[in-house]
Amino acid sequence: MNQQQTLTALFKNTFGHQPTHFFQAPGRVNLIGEHTDYNDGFVLPCAIDYQAMIAASPREDNKVVDTAHSYDGQVSEFELTLPITHSEEAFWSNYVRGVASVMLEKGHKLHGVNIAIIGNVPQGAGLSSSACLEVVTGLTLSRMAGLDISLKELALIGQKAENEFVGCNCGIMDQMVSACGKEGHAMLLDCRSLDTRLVSIPEGAAVVIINSNVKRGLVDSEYNTRRQQCEAAARHFGVKALRDVTVEQLEAERKNLDEMAYRRARHVITENNRTEEAAEALARGDLKTMGILMAESHASMKDDFEITVPAIDGIVEIVKSVIGEEGGVRMTGGGFGGCVVALIPETLTDTVKAAVESRYSEYAKNLNADIYVCRASQGASAL
């Protein structure tokens, strides 16, 4: 059975009838622009062809009853009245509850609905399994209530739900590209203005995601530490965010900054510049320049931001040895494990897979890497 058929079977088993509507929202991978989002900078993600999907039908009452395939069809329910409380037993439902809560706080009138959820975005790999669930939930709740809320607004609702209800202080990138991505394109997103520009990915290029399967143990505490270091550096320059500091200003102030603050700021400032350059390179189909920029990004994350681990550096080395100048590879995501992203000619995907499978154990004993060959896909939609 494909994902939609499995979802339909779960819905029918749970609610005793066929769903009336289907909705989807994709996961995402960030091609370049790491830890720039909360510094008001630029990111260049694309939606991928792995997604969260919801089957739904209207209810006569004021309840949301939801079930999730990944959690053995566990069922949860809540009333569409404020305040909506957290579920201790069905923690996955807190994403649904958070989105509903934010929508109600904004004055949107929601209707009771039955919801079944399925997804094939790998969890815990940094590919935004939570953001796509928030976006598809917002799309479902709004459309089932006859509300025409824009995809950009649904992205902001999802982010607010994750920040304030779930309790993770994420930027806007994940929800925005899940909501508004376009097939065959990356999205240059200005995280300050929320302006977006679609950038065509060259024909014949594959987006390859390699999950190191290194558990990201430090990511929450270290992420918050990096964020504080960046905010402190911005205060030193008297600006709202590091987005507003140039490389020249940074170098002129180097003697007045401690070495760590300098290196953290240097990563963010140079990464913003690289991300804008990468959008231009991608738009003209220049994978060689893209590769140089992705290599510089990885080095900056390793040396200045200190968020890579040996297994991740190893995968980057393996892929680089195969592709040479025909594309790029770098760590993607928050760091301390997780995934590597490569943008490479489709003709090299089998060689890259074989190289990673044969050599990864040199860098990470007792671990296998999961490899996903993806294409840039459409953002959130009704099916």
User: What pLDDT is attached to residue 63?
Assistant: 97
**What average pLDDT does this structure show over 275-291?**
97
The CA-CA-CA angle for residues 158, 191, 206, to 5°, reads 85
Instruction: Compute the Cα dihedral for 91, 367, 267, 43 and give only its sign.
Output: negative
Mean pLDDT over the full length of the chain: 94
User: What pLDDT is attached to residue 218?
Assistant: 56
Write the pLDDT tens digit of every residue in 161-208.
999 998 887 788 999 999 999 999 999 999 999 999 999 999 999 999
Sheet containing strand 328-332, strands side by side: 328-332, 339-345, 205-211, 370-374
Q: What is the pTM of this model?
A: 0.92
CA distance 77 to 112: 10
Predicted confidence (pLDDT) at residue 219 exceeds the cutoff of 90 = no
Predicted confidence (pLDDT) at residue 216 exceeds the cutoff of 80 = no
User: What pLDDT is attached to residue 256?
Assistant: 95
Which residues are paired to 114 by β-bridges?
Answer: 57, 65
**Binning pLDDT at 50, 70 and 90, where does residue 217 land?**
low
**Binning pLDDT at 50, 70 and 90, where does residue 149 land?**
very high
Would you say 180 and 139 are in contact if contact means Cβ atoms under 8 Å apart? no
Residues near 44 by beta carbon (within 8 Å), at least 6 away in sequence: 30, 31, 32, 33, 186, 187, 188, 189, 199, 275, 278, 279, 282
β-pairing, 113-119 vs 63-68, is parallel
- Whether 174 is a known active-site residue: answer yes
**What average pLDDT does this structure show over 287-295?**
97
Q: What percent of the chain stands above pLDDT 90? A: 88
Write the pLDDT tens digit of every residue in 96-116.
999 999 999 999 999 999 999
Q: Which of 37, 40, 66, 174 is catalytic?
A: 174
CA distance 115 to 78: 12
Would you say 308 and 184 are in contact if contact means Cβ atoms under 8 Å apart? no
Predicted confidence (pLDDT) at residue 137 exceeds the cutoff of 80 = yes
Would you say 256 and 367 are in contact if contact means Cβ atoms under 8 Å apart? no
For the chain, domains (ranges, CATH) are 3-200 (3.30.230.10), 205-374 (3.30.70.890)
Residues near 102 by beta carbon (within 8 Å), at least 6 away in sequence: 157, 160, 161, 164, 165
Question: Which has more pLDDT, 129 or 317?
Answer: 317
Question: Which has more pLDDT, 277 or 82?
Answer: 277
